Structure 1
Amino acid sequence: MQDWLTIREGASPLIIGFPHTGTAIPAEIEARMTSPWLARKDADWWVDRLYDFAVELDATFVRTGISRSVIDVNRDPSGVSLYPGMTTTGLCPLETFDGESLYRPGQEPDQAEIDARRAAFFDPYHAALQGQIDRLRAKGPVVLYDAHSIRSVVPRLFEGELPQFNIGDNGGTTCDGALTQGVEAACAVSGLSHIVNGRFRGGWTTRHYGQPASGVHAIQMELADRGYMVDPAGPVDETNWPSPYEPARAERMRETLRAVLTACIDFAQA
């Protein structure tokens, strides 16, 4: 197994994907980038730690340690935009969420390099996901839960402050409606803000694997990270980002996420 790819096999019918928690960047790529900090700025900071309780639910984990700035394993490899007409990043991003250039002039990856990164990192990650889906699907229905987070305020991507829980099933196409309803109900009980198919409707992973008619139900959760860390009140820079994970702040969100994941398992086992 590649040392950047982490797989934890569980027996419950729940797979959690962590596509954006990685911060590893090959040295030869980082040397061409504008700054190491910018290259890691848009990571889903601390999300794998936030969900570490899911071991107690015997969930399966698939996590890449490679930074999304190297290759984003939650983007369509064909290059088709997930959100036509809206600002988004590509398979091998050239800019941060805030529009800052990731590469020094003339150092951007060409198509041959993009293809090589896909073969080295994208394809093995998705082979691992598919392998775990196949393993658990042999026993019954499976839920693939794609775990994400983002800063609460990113004006280039969305207006205002993002709700705490952003549930995506691409308009009801990637999973049975009963699963979405169960996840939404768990979020509603928390009293924290939530939305279904708002700005984030599910990325390529959710849309690619979600085949409810075949017993594979995929759903994405995009969290506003103020639930477990401090979002800077003003501009984000190297002095204030990323802020530390705060266990006490995270407890309320973790309690809700435990209910969310339990709803996923209950749905699959019903």
Structure 2
Amino acid sequence: MKTLTPTLIVYSGTVTPRYPFLISIPHGGTDIPQELAGRLALSRHEIRYYSDPVTRALYSFGSSVQAFIETPVSRMAVDLNRPPLPIPPRDPDGIIKVRTIDGKTVYREGLFPDMNLIHRLMMAWYFPYHQHIDELIDHRGVKIAFDCHSMLPVGSGEQKDAGRRRPLICLGNNGDRKGRARKSSIATCPESWINALADEFRSEFSLGSEVAINNPFSGGFISNAHYWRKGVPWLQIEINRSLYEPERARSAARSSDCDGSVTALRERIWRVLATFWDQHDGGT
């Protein structure tokens, strides 16, 4: 296992046109920090499958946006899109995983990280990611942020939508299925914004209900926490893996198997985001 230096890939746009977007890709990494060498019960194949490796290519808009951040570390080592509490391992799908989304044990027996190691991992990976997001919002003229993900075509065993077919595209703003704020909660962007973006996806991909809002995902910790902290609107984007992974390779999630379709899909996603902003100026 290679030594993994605790660094993030943070890009601030220097090429015009630069859109006032922040692109966050928290689950694209597949590397495991050296401190966890020999501890995981998962194979390299499984680590890739439970990560979002293709998202680093799918959303690689760094040269066209004001701010961009991603990480090489796998979510199976440190999940950056989870709240810092409850303290691991109380949450099986928290920052430090106990089980995968379909119930597989992540760590070998007796090798789950102790609190000292959890603290080191969070100081090296978790807190810097969130600090950099705040700094990018503060200094780069960001007007909207996108937290970018992929999703499996069908809900897995320990998820709320287990066994159910998922839409091709899901947009989340912590609201209801029409993008409205839920009772006793707050949406991370206006209803008009998320609906305008959904309409652009439907137009670009010739889809209807296959573009869903807040179903099955309404947004994770990154979107919610940084909207609360900074007030800049956030949208979570989930792209169904079936749009770029052939059926025979879906479980492997190897970017080398689908580079051509990922390139074409990336161009279409970017066209959607750019058109959304150009035509709607954030839905205003």
**Shorter-chain TM-score range:** 0.7 to 0.9
How many residue pairs are counted as aligned between the two chains? 254
Q: Which residue of 1 aligns with 2:12?
A: 9
Letter in 2 for 1:223: I
The answer as to whether partners of 1:4 and 1:66 remain within 8 angstroms in 2 is no
Aligned to 2:245: 229
CA distance in 2, matches of 1:201, 1:46: 21
1:269: Cα distance to partner? 9.6
* 2:233 equivalent among 217, 225, 228: 217
Paired residue secondary structure (2:121): helix
Q: Which amino acid aligns with 2:96?
A: C
Q: Cα deviations across residues 169-223 of structure 1 (Å, max 9, x unaligned)?
A: 00041012222122111111112421001110000001111259x6500010111
Contact 1:151 1:231 in 2 (8 A): no
Aligned to 2:111, what secondary structure does the other structure show?
coil
Aligned partners of 1:50 and 1:39: how far apart in 2?
A: 19
Question: Normalized against structure 2, the TM-score is what?
Answer: 0.80
* CA distance in 2 between partners of 1:246 and 1:110 (Å): 38
Q: 1:191 to 1:88 in 2, by over 3 A?
A: farther
| 2:198 aligned to which of 161, 164, 184 | 184
CA distance in 1 between partners of 2:261 and 2:40 (Å): 34
Determine if the alignment matches structure 1 residue 91 to structure 2 residue 95.
Answer: yes
Pairwise mapping of residues 45-56 of structure 1 onto structure 2 (< 5 A)? 45-52=53-60, 54-55=61-62
Question: Which stretch has the larger CA shift, 93-102 or 66-75?
Answer: 93-102
For 1:48-73, what per-residue CA distance to the aligned partner results, in whole angstroms no more than 9, with x for missing partners? 11122x24533421011111111100
Match of 1:84 in 2: none
1:241–1:176 distance in 2 versus 1, CA, 3 Å: closer
Matches of 1:253 and 1:50 in 2, distance apart?
Answer: 7
Where in structure 2 are there 5+ consecutive unaligned residues? Answer: 176-180, 182-186
- Tell me if structure 2 keeps the 8 A contact 1:5–1:63: yes
List aligned pairs for 1:79-228, cutoff 5 A: 79=86, 89-137=93-141, 142-156=143-157, 157=159, 158=161, 159-171=163-175, 172=181, 173-189=187-203, 190-192=205-207, 193-211=210-228, 215-228=231-244
Alpha-carbon distance, 1:128 to partner: 0.8
Shift of 1:94: 1.5
Structure 1 position 251, deviation (Å): 5.5
| Aligned pair partner of 1:33 in 26, 40, 43 | 40
Q: Distance in 2 between matches of 1:63 and 1:26?
A: 16
8 Å contact 1:33–1:39 — kept in the other structure? no
- Aligned position for 2:184: none
Distance 2:199 2:92 in 1: 29
Q: Aligned pair in 2 of structure 1 residues 77, 164: CA closer, same or farther (>3 Å)?
A: same
Asked if the contact 1:164–1:227 (Cα under 8 Å) also holds between the matched residues in 2, the reply is yes
Contact in 2 for aligned 1:228/1:253 (Cα 8 Å): yes
What SS does structure 2 have at the residue aligned with 1:198?
A: coil
**Partners of 2:41 and 2:228 in 1: CA distance:** 40
Gaps of 5+ in 1: 81-86
**Alignment correspondent of 2:30:** 23
Q: Could you tell me how far 1:233 is from its partner in structure 2? A: 8.3
Distance 2:216 2:112 in 1: 28
